[in-house]
């Protein structure tokens, strides 16, 4: 491409302070350095992790100015020195939880999907190779990075470990969902819990991640999938994707875990907490069956509060774990997952509820804040 090796001037939505509307303006994007890739973003979307960072809910998220965003798809514009697994024009999906392939974590097979060098790190706001930013605004002020990706920009620069090459025939708009939400939720059902035919599941919070859990449990043949949400409108979407039962905590006069135990002869095999709420997490833990139940944490918890859990409660055989990126190893496993989506194994259409041009990114944020969208796809 004609832009190879040159600084690119393009649009980006820049966060200048907590809760402030993103400013769509011209920024400069430097060429990729050693083991980096510059990509042209074609589609991006917003998830609750982006909202948490936009609100500045933790110290790790208060680096300004900053370009947020970590769900996207696009094409490679140019590669830096040493990158051999992709080239200009390749279709790619950025991932916030990287995979270098060489560290002790990446070589651990099925023990972890974390990477020693490029794992998800909310404190990281610069590139790994030189500790500098690849973005600047019109005044030459550096603009910080976010979650290894920064996709709210026409062009972005990412480390080679945080980019996945996918089938060139895959629909790039839908592949955006694989950067975070769908991979995280569905992967938690497939990889973390390994739901089996006939088992029972409860999903707390029916946003995009929660509904992706539902999709994962449905494809595995779960006999009962209970959706829990305080928004009654989530029932319709949940039933369309696969929930068999719906509970609105505001409409029952007993704790949710008691209701679920009653519905499932003692509790579900697996529960998934996708709300980022401490009280909800405890209910998710208690609704699992004693002896073998497992609660999987997926929600973002920026609060410094700790979980109220007595160690002796674990002696009943219930377990509680967390799942990062659905326990997918991004670079080595996501290409196959993309093919499965192309083959119709997973229904992606249900997750895209709105489409808007990139300039209306603040409208997309409001749609998610109001609970009116699962994913609003922004076309760049």
Active-site choice (36, 77, 99, 106): 106
Catalytic position from the list 49, 151, 184, 200: 49
Residue 346 structure tokens: 């997973």
Catalytic residue among 36, 38, 44, 47: 47
Residue from 133, 137, 141 nearest 36 by CA: 133
Q: Can 49 be counted among the known catalytic residues?
A: yes
103 is catalytic: yes
Active site (annotated) includes residue 48: yes
Which residues face 288 on adjacent strands? 268
| Known active-site residue 106 | yes
Per the annotation, the verdict on 192 as an active-site residue is no
Residues 184/326, Cβ–Cβ less than 8 Å: yes
Q: Strand pairing of 23-29 and 135-136?
A: antiparallel
71 is catalytic: yes
Annotated active-site residue in 269, 282, 318, 375 = 375
Close Cβ partners of 312 (under 8 Å, ≥ 6 residues apart):
none
Decide if 100 is catalytic: yes
What phi and psi values does residue 313 have, to the nearest 5 degrees? Answer: -65, -25
> Is 176 a catalytic site residue?
no
Q: Which of 57, 71, 77, 283 is catalytic?
A: 71
User: Which of 103, 112, 136, 355 is an active site residue?
Assistant: 103
CA distance 375 to 71: 10
What phi and psi values does residue 27 have, to the nearest 5 degrees? -130, 165
Choice among 38, 66, 70, 134 that is catalytic: 70
* Cis geometry, peptide bond prior to residue 269 (ω within 30 degrees of 0): no
Please identify which of the residues 162, 180, 341, 376 carries the catalytic annotation: 180
Say whether 70 is catalytic: yes
Q: How many residues does the chain have?
A: 380
Of 66, 91, 100, 134, catalytic = 100
The yes-or-no answer on residue 257 being catalytic is: no
Given 38, 66, 91, 119, the catalytic residue: 119
As annotated, the active-site residues are 47-49, 70-71, 100, 103, 106, 115, 119, 180, 375
């Amino acid at each position: 491409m004609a832009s190879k090796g040159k600084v690119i001037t393009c649009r980006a939505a820049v966060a200048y302070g907590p809760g402030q509307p993103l400013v769509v303006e011209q920024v400069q994007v430097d060429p990729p350095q050693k083991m980096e890739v510059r990509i042209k973003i074609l589609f991006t979307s917003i998830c609750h992790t982006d909202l948490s960072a936009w609100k500045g809910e933790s110290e790790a998220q208060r680096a300004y100015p900053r370009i947020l965003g970590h769900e996207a798809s696009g094409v490679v514009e140019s590669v830096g020195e040493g990158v051999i697994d992709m080239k200009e024009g390749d279709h790619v999906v950025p991932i916030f939880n990287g995979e270098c392939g060489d560290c002790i974590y990446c070589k651990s097979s099925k023990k972890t999907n974390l990477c020693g060098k490029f794992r998800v790190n909310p404190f990281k706001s610069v590139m790994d190779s030189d500790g500098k930013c690849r973005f600047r605004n019109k005044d030459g002020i550096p603009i910080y990075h976010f979650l290894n990706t920064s996709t709210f920009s026409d062009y972005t620069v990412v480390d080679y470990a945080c980019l996945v090459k996918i089938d060139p025939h895959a629909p790039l708009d839908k592949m955006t969902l694989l950067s975070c939400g769908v991979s995280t939720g569905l992967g938690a059902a497939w990889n973390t819990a390994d739901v089996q035919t006939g088992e029972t599941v409860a999903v707390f919070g029916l946003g995009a991640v929660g509904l992706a859990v539902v999709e994962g449990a449905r494809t595995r043949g779960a006999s009962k999938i209970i959706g829990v949400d305080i928004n009654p409108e989530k029932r319709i979407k949940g039933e369309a994707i696969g929930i068999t039962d719906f509970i609105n905590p505001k409409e029952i006069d007993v704790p949710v875990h008691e209701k679920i135990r009653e519905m499932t002869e003692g509790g579900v095999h697996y529960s998934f907490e996708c709300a980022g709420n401490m009280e909800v997490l405890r209910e998710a833990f208690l609704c699992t069956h004693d002896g073998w139940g497992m609660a999987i944490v997926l929600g973002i918890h920026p609060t410094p509060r700790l979980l109220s859990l007595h160690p002796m409660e674990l002696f009943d055989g219930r377990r509680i774990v967390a799942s990062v990126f659905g326990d997918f190893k991004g670079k080595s496993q996501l290409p196959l997952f993309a093919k499965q989506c192309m083959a119709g194994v997973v229904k992606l259409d249900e997750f895209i509820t709105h489409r808007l041009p990139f300039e209306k990114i603040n409208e997309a944020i409001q749609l998610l804040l109001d609970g009116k969208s699962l994913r609003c796809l922004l076309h760049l």
